[in-house]
Amino acid sequence: MTSCTDICRSILLERMVFNTHSSIAIPEDFLEHKNYVFNLLKSTVVNGENNSALLIGPRGSGKTMLINSVIADLEAICNFEKDYVVIKLHGFFQTDDRIAIQEITRQLFLEEETANRTFGSFSENLNFLLDSLKVADRKTTKSIIFIIDEFDQFCQHKNQTLLYNLFDVCQSAQAPMAVIGLTCRMDAISLFEKRVRSRFSHRQIYLLVKPDFQKYSETFVSLLRLQQSRELKAIYVRSWNKSVEDLAQDPLVQGSLKKVFNLNPKLRLLQNILLVALSRLGESHPFLSSKDIVTAIESQTTDCKTLQLQGLSVLELQLLLCMKYLDKIYFGEPCNYEMAFYEYTKQMKNSSMQKFDRQIAMKAMEHLETLEFIRPVEGISSSKVQKEFVVYHILITSEQLTAAIAKYPNLPTEVKQLADTCL
Amino acid sequence: MDFEWIGDPISVNEAARQLTSKTRTFYKTCKYLGTEYYIGDHVLIANSEADDPESFRHCYVASLVYMYEMKSNKKDPFRAQVQWYSRVEQLSKNLRKDGVHPPLDDAWELVHEGQRYKGDVSIETIFDKCSVLICEENEVPRGVGKQKKLCTFFCRFALGPKNSRDLVSVKESLTKQLADMTAKTLVDSFSAINQSDKEPTTPRRISTRSRKMSENDNTDSSVHPELINTPRSSTRNRQPSRQLDNGKNESCIPSASINTPRSSRRNRQPLLLVDSEDDESSVHTGPINTPRSSKRIKQPPRCLDETLPSPLKNSTFSISSNKTKELCIVIQRCKVTPNKEISAVELDQASKVKARKKLDLETPVTPTKAVEQKTPKKPKRAGSVTPGSTQKKRLRLTPAISSRSGNLTEPTSPLGEIRRRLHVAAVPQTLPCREDEFDHIYNYVEGKLADGIGGCMYISGVPGTGKTATVSEVIRVLKESQTEGDLPDFKLIEVNGMKLTAPQQIYVQIWNQLTGSKVTADKAAKLLHAKFSTNGPRHRPTVLIVDELDLLWTRQQDVLYNIFEWPNRPKAQLTVLAIANTMDLPERLLMNRVSSRMGLTRLTFQPYKVKQLQTIISSRLENLVYFEPEAVEFIARKVSAASGDARRALDISRRAAELAEKGSHNISSPTKSPSKRGAHPSKSTVTMQHVQAAIEEMFSSPKLLAIQACSLHEQLFLNALVQEFNRTGVEESVFDQVIRQHYTLCDLEGMSRPNVSELLSVCASLCSSRLILSEHGRNDIRQKVRLNIGIDDVSYALKCL
């Protein structure tokens, strides 16, 4: 017998992982853009027009979501099976034209392909695809919709062959097709080679919207709100929704949310935070508390370097402090092991702490390098230089060091004093 | 390896007309490589352009019309006039008849070329006999294929008269020709009534020939092969008057040729010819039928060998018989072992070739006896499909996209119609504003084709100035005038540098478009070299269009070199139209030896001017007046100032029309829109506002909006970068310095400081939308960061908040 809490938890977790909830719909600001894209694709499918467009928006602004909802709408009015084919490409999967063309062929000829899968050389495939697209009668062939995610990646391919050919088909009376590119680069169009650019229709759709905290906290509530359903008791749903609304009004939660919002107002981060918070729910803990939210936010936003620093040995910490000190007095110039060790011995002269000798300090230094707290300066090949004299940059800020030292358990007071003088 | 004429020289009234200055002696029979060829025989002619000149798949098939010796031609004195048959795959696409039942058989079916083509070949290129069955339209005869050593083809169709694109039944066409012929002979006999010795030859020869043919293959009986080529319906009207002159010529020429002293002439066996064709000797009346004429002329074989132009011929001829046997065996093995074939199919192309080679290698091992035992079974299957074709078909999918269920609907609204017409893909009836360039290219290509020479032309211009469109238009017009018969038949090859995966692939493409077969790049290059340096029996002028030429650049420039070298060869008859973007490509990129071969014929397409763009848009709109003239001019001005790219102008006007359509929908409710639009046409016209909006949408980069869409800390970070720039005066700054600025700004704003990880993610997200540029993330806080937008833009956008 699963309790209401479990059911509630699983429903909400699913909502956070998959973008299936109705509240994660197209924002009102994008409805116009959506209509634009929809009409574009509709005219390709219904009238056989050739179109090309670019959807540009920062990461997490809902490009893929928009295109998916357009495709879903299109499916409602047109016969997907018979009238058009959707081909999806992704710039990080199809990393060169050869793979991309194989993938297009696979998606385009799914039925025939399964019967006998044969892929010849790249040029054969390309010619085959181009021959296919150069149809004799464009009136009777299916429309093709290309949806190319991470479009900018395709601009890096050699000669931009694929893009040229796709746009060339688009601008000449060959197979009816639409090419929709999704990218987060504002300057995507300048990546095109000149003849590719000339063939592109210059339809650019920018998905940009000013962040609004009011809407953000509304989304927070709607993400967590439960609908009445058979599985859940009505009374539980009511009390859950009440608790969620109270939570949103909690000043502590508001403050933390505001902090997250100022940094990154994207839906995806909010979902991740809620995912962490929701997974704490259980029999003994049936409702979300403000503490859950705050700790979840902290877990998502803590500085990883500070955490890592707390795992270092005292010697390593001391060496880092020395290097930071050197970095400070030399205005960011890099330093090598000898300098750091000299500084270390100088500070340890009047100390009662255990002094380590050269080899052990060297080992500690190497450990710091593998953890990437320090990094050899580029341009000087480390193989030619003795390892004592390899110069390093320190890659942590003094804030990170201070924070780590403050949290370090049982740190000798001398080191703390050293830190105070160094930073 | 010997060649000899058998029998007397004969008089040929038809061919004699063509004799102008060169002396030719005609014969009925010859013996070459141990095979006797008679006039009317069907023969296989080596296709020097194919990779395997003597394979049954690639060689030419023809019937002998005349055989003669031309002494003035020192290299190739023994020649033949032939009537060609074409393979099904050689037919041009628009000629192919899809409704033919049973369907055309690629392997063994031929199409009679009718009156369109006739050829003059060297007898040395003939390598074997074959037989051709003439059949009814819907009948596929039995026994087609290769039996023992004789290939049997069948022929159902002939090419129609010059302008038609249909196939006609071969029997009908032949009988029609025969009718023409008899009509002609009547005229001939009437006009040549004075020359009584000529008159009876033609009809009598028909009878003899047909009888002889019936011995060989009983289907050909009704047709006189010699007649196929002779009557020209188009020239018939002129014939009677000419015939008189020719008659005179004819009477003197054979005697002259007979009189030439021949060292090897022997007065032996005068009855040899009579033996085989006893009617024949009686036919030769008049000057030919003198006792001298029945002498057998024998060429010394060694002399013949020396006169062969290429050493290649020697070798191929000597092995030809072996080769055919081997081929037969290969086919046999493929057929007999089906499991082997399947495995070969499953392998990819390369391994398939290997597998085939393996089969080739295996053949010597298999005892010939076994093979011979299997041979009788073969023809039944081989008649339907050859192994090569089956493998190919299984390997390749047909390049086509599956068809849709419903038909496309045409746009109904007037602005929808405008949108359709303004699409870049919509093909206009004429290309306005490129008349001069059109004439230039047309005259050039036409001149080259008419003169039968080659040349190349370099066409340059920025994208979207109509280079490719103009060239395709030229080709279209050329093809039209070719079908009308004003120009010689030419072969068109189009390649695009962008559609190739590597420059060398161009050879494969060209060869594929020339012959339809696929070979590797190296092989194709070799074959093309051979093709363009020899004048094969059926050489046609070629027009090669190379689009995006600059993509073919390689370090060695060998591809470009070859493309411009071929047209300069005397026998190539190749015209190259090279299209590229840059005007100074030959000077900038090409080596001297390449640009020298390219020549100086250049044509530059200037970017379109305002007026031209206006004409282009309005010519597309034609009589639809939904565009304000000012709007059109505005577009033209905007585009010509930027790029002069016609595509851009069309895109803008199309988008403006869309916006206008949307606007009209918003104003008038969709339910009663048609009536309303009729009442107020002004609502659906495209005005300046629409154009302005379209241009705004297409060309402005919404930087301000992008900055305003950033989160607070992203904006602060941008601001921090500006501050850092103000402090140092250097555009590039290091991340940890920017953090300092950022923290200061945070303190000013009274906000909590974000930690370094958070700021790094802020930086990364700005970088992904390219508002800032940053170094590789491995450098962590030492990475260098710089703004990708103007500092003023940032300040302005942040002030606007």
- Using CB atoms, pick whichever of A98, A113, A202 lies closest to residue B648: A202
Average pLDDT of the segment spanning B482-508: 87
The verdict on A215 touching B (C-beta cutoff 8 Å) is: no
What is the arrangement of strands in the sheet containing A177-183, beginning at the earlier edge strand?
A84-90, A143-149, A177-183, A51-56, A204-206
Contact A83 B349 (CB under 8 A): no
Give the closest residue to B423 by CA, choosing from B653, B587, B586, B219.
B653
- Give the CATH number, domain containing residue B571: 3.40.50.300
* pTM to 2 decimal places: 0.71
Q: Residue B274, Cα to own-chain centre: how many angstroms?
A: 49
Token pair 């016209």 in the structure block, residue: B685
Cross-strand bridge partners of residue B133: B154
> Closest Cα to residue B384, out of B671, B107, B196?
B107
Q: Are residues B630 and B691 in the same domain?
A: yes
Nearest to B65 by CA among B108, B114, B28, B116: B28
Together in a domain, B518 and B544: yes
* One domain, residues B571 and B643: no
The C-alpha R_g of chain A, in whole angstroms, comes to 29
Helix (H), strand (E) at residue B4 = strand B3-10
CA nearest neighbour of A181 among A53, A42, A63, A61: A53
Residue contact A305–B757, C-beta within 8 A: yes
Query: Of B604, B633, B650, which closes a domain?
Result: B604
| H helix or E strand, kind and range, residue B726 | helix B712-728
Nearest to B133 by CA among B162, B103, B160, B112: B112
Distance from CA of B111 to the nearest CA of A (A): 25
Q: A216 CB near a chain B CB, below 8 Å?
A: no
CB B648 to CB A259 under 8 A?
A: no
Q: What digits encode the pLDDT tens for the residues B738-764?
A: 999 999 999 998 888 898 989 999 999
- Own/partner pairs, B56-59, CB within 8 angstroms, 24+ separation: B56/B146, B56/B151, B56/B327, B57/B107, B57/B386, B57/B388, B58/B515, B58/B517, B59/B127
B758 CB within 8 Å of a chain A CB: yes
Test mutation, A49, A134, A378, chain B, max B CBs within 10 A: A49
Flag whether B541 is in a domain: yes
User: B42 and B174: one domain?
Assistant: yes
pLDDT at residue B635 tops 60: yes
CATH, residue B707: 1.10.10.10
User: Cα–Cα–Cα angle for B291, B246, B195, nearest 5°?
Assistant: 60
- Nearest-Å Rg of the Cα atoms of chain B is 37
Q: Does one domain contain both B49 and B168?
A: yes
Q: Could you tell me which chain A residue has the CA closest to the CA of B395?
A: A118
Question: Per the domain annotation, does B240 fall within a domain?
Answer: no
In contact, B620 and B421? CB cutoff 8 Å: yes
How far apart are the C-alpha atoms of B334 and B340, rounded to whole Å? 7
Q: Are residues B575 and B653 in the same domain?
A: no
Q: What is the pLDDT of residues A197-230, one digit of tens each?
A: 999 988 999 998 888 899 898 888 888 888 887 7
3-state SS of chain A is CCCHHHHHHHHHHHHHHCCCCCCCCCCHHHHHHHHHHHHHHHHHHHHCCCEEEEEECCCCCCHHHHHHHHHHHHHHHCCHHHHEEEEEEECCCCCCHHHHHHHHHHHHCHHHHHHCCCCCCHHHHHHHHHHHHCCCCCCCECEEEEEEECHHHHCCCHHHHHHHHHHHHHHCCCCCEEEEEEECCCCHHHHCCHHHHHHCCCCEEECCCCCCHHHHHHHHHHHHCCCCCCCCCHHHHHHHHHHHHHHHHCHHHHHHHHHHHHHCCCHHHHHHHHHHHHCCCECCECCCCHHHHHHHHHHHHCCHHHHHHCCCCHHHHHHHHHHHHHHHHCCCCCEEHHHHHHHHHHHHCCCCCCCCCHHHHHHHHHHHHHCCCEEECCCCCCCCCCCCCCEEEECCCHHHHHHHHHHCCCCCHHHHHHHHHHC
Task: Report helix, strand or coil for B116.
Answer: coil
A185 contacts in chain B (CB < 8 Å): 768-770
Where helices occur in B192-267 by DSSP H, the ranges are 201-216, 225-229, 239-259
**Beta-carbon neighbour count of residue A280 at 10 Å?**
14
Chain B residues 452-471 with a CB less than 8 Å from chain A: 462-464
Tell me which DSSP letter residue B310 carries: -
Which pLDDT belongs to residue B117?
58
Cα B93 from Cα B84, distance rounded (Å): 19
Distance of CA B287 to the CA centre of its chain: 50
By mean pLDDT, which of A112-126, A376-390, B181-195 is the weakest? B181-195
Q: Are residues B692 and B752 in the same domain?
A: no
In a domain, B429, yes or no: no
Name the minimum distance, in Å, from the CA of B761 to any CA of chain A: 9
Indicate if the pLDDT at residue B206 is higher than 80.
no
- For residues B298 and B295, give the distance between their C-alpha atoms in angstroms, rounded to a whole number: 9
Inter-chain touch A79–B709, beta carbons under 8 Å? no
pLDDT of A113? 53
- Which of A:388-407 have CB within 8 Å of B? 393, 395-397, 399-400, 403
ipTM score assigned to the predicted complex: 0.91
Other beta carbons within 10 Å of B339 = 7
Instruction: Please say if the pLDDT value at position B735 is more than 70.
Output: yes
pLDDT at A20: 66
Do the chains contact at A161 and B499, CB–CB below 8 Å?
yes
Q: Compute φ and ψ for B427, nearest 5 degrees.
A: -90, 120
| Domain end call among B554, B581, B604 | B604
Whether B239 maps to a domain, the answer reads no
Distance in angstroms (rounded) separating the CA atoms of residues B676 and B471: 45
- Is the Cβ–Cβ distance between B158 and B112 less than 8 Å? yes
CA A133 to chain centre: 35
**Is residue B235 one of the residues assigned to a domain?**
no
Q: Which residues contact B787 (CB under 8 A, 6 or more apart)?
A: B718, B721, B722, B725, B731, B771, B772, B773, B794
Smallest CA–CA distance, residue B469 to chain A, in Å, is 10
Q: Which residues of B touch A119 (CB under 8 A)?
A: 348
Average confidence score pLDDT of chain B: 70
Nearest chain A Cα distance for residue B102, angstroms? 24
| Whole-number Å distance between alpha carbons of A314 and A412 | 8
> What pLDDT is attached to residue A115?
52
Q: Are strands B491-496 and B542-547 parallel, antiparallel or unpaired?
A: parallel
Q: What is the C-alpha to C-alpha distance for residues B599 and B590, in angstroms, rounded to an integer?
A: 12
Domain holding B751, by residue range, is 702-800
Confidence of residue B453 (pLDDT cuts 50, 70, 90): confident
| Among candidates A112, A139, A395 on the partner chain, residue whose Cβ is nearest the Cβ of B782 | A395
B501 part of contact set with chain A, CB < 8 Å: yes
Distance CA B172, CA B178 (A): 10
Residue type, B597: R
Chain B contacts of A135, Cβ < 8 Å? 400-401
The whole-number pLDDT of residue B346 equals: 42
Closest residue by Cα to residue A101 from B399, B417, B756, B507: B399
SS3 at position B201: helix
Helix (H) / strand (E) element for B575: namely strand B574-580
- Rounded distance between C-alpha atoms, residue B35 and residue B74, angstroms: 23
8 Å CB contact of A184 and B397: no
Q: Which residue of A79, A172, A184 is in closest CB contact with B425?
A: A172
Banded model confidence at residue A317, pLDDT cuts 50, 70, 90:
very high
Contact criterion met (CB < 8 Å) for A400 and B755: yes
Residues 6+ apart with CB under 8 A from A365: A319, A337, A340, A374
Across B680-704, b (16+ Cβ under 10 Å) vs e yields eeebbbbbeebbebbbebbeebbbb
Q: What is the C-alpha separation between B165 and A7, in angstroms, rounded? A: 74
The answer, yes or no, to whether residue B391 has pLDDT greater than 50, is: no
Neighbours of B156 (CB within 10 A): 25
pLDDT for res A170 = 87
Determine the pLDDT at residue B205. Answer: 37
How far out from the chain centre does Cα B739 lie?
Answer: 64
Distance CA B322, CA A160 (A): 50
Q: Which residue, B580, B402, B76, is CA-closest to A111?
A: B402
- Look at residue B676 in the predicted model and tell me its pLDDT: 37
Same domain, B43 and B64: yes
* Nearest C-alpha in A relative to B508: A123
Q: Are B537 and B646 part of one and the same domain?
A: no
Q: Are residues B743 and B788 in the same domain?
A: yes
Phi (first) and psi of residue B784, to 5 degrees: -90, 140
Contacts of A213 (CB under 8 A, 6+ apart): A258, A261
Query: Is pLDDT of A319 > 60?
Result: yes
Q: Using the beta-carbon criterion (under 8 Å), do B758 and A301 form an inter-chain contact?
A: yes
Provide mean pLDDT across the span B246-275. Answer: 39
Nearest CA-CA partner of B8 in B185, B266, B258: B258
Q: Do B689 and B661 belong to one domain?
A: yes
Q: How far apart are CA A397 and CA B687, in angstroms?
A: 59
Answer yes or no: is B500 within a domain.
yes
Q: What is the CATH number of the domain that holds B637?
A: 1.10.8
The reply to whether residue B401 touches residue A144, judged by beta carbons under 8 angstroms, is: yes
**CB pair distance less than 8 Å for B499 and A82:** no
The tally of domains found in chain B comes to 4
- B664/A344 Cα distance (integer angstroms): 79
Burial of residue A45, with CB atoms counted within 10 A of its CB: 0-12 exposed, 13-18 middle, 19 or more buried? buried
Cα B214 to Cα B781: distance, rounded to the nearest angstrom: 96
Residue B52: per-residue pLDDT: 67
Q: Which of B604, B624, B656 corresponds to the end of one domain? A: B604
Chain B nearest-CA distance from A266, in A, is: 9
Higher pLDDT, B550 or B289: B550
Q: Is residue B257 part of a domain?
A: no
pLDDT, average across residues A355-367: 92
**Same domain for B128 and B18:** yes
Q: Is B160 on the interface with A (CB under 8 A)?
A: no
pLDDT in tens, A285-308: 888 888 989 999 988 888 888 889
Is B369 inside a domain boundary? Answer: no
Most trustworthy range by pLDDT among A273-287, B10-24, B59-73 = A273-287
* Average pLDDT, integer, range B561-589: 88
pLDDT at A87: 92
Residue B106: phi and psi, rounded to 5, are -65, -30
Residue B9, preceding bond cis, omega within 30 degrees? Answer: no
The neighbouring-strand residues paired with B3 are: B32
SS3 for B290? coil
CATH of the domain at B104: 2.30.30.490
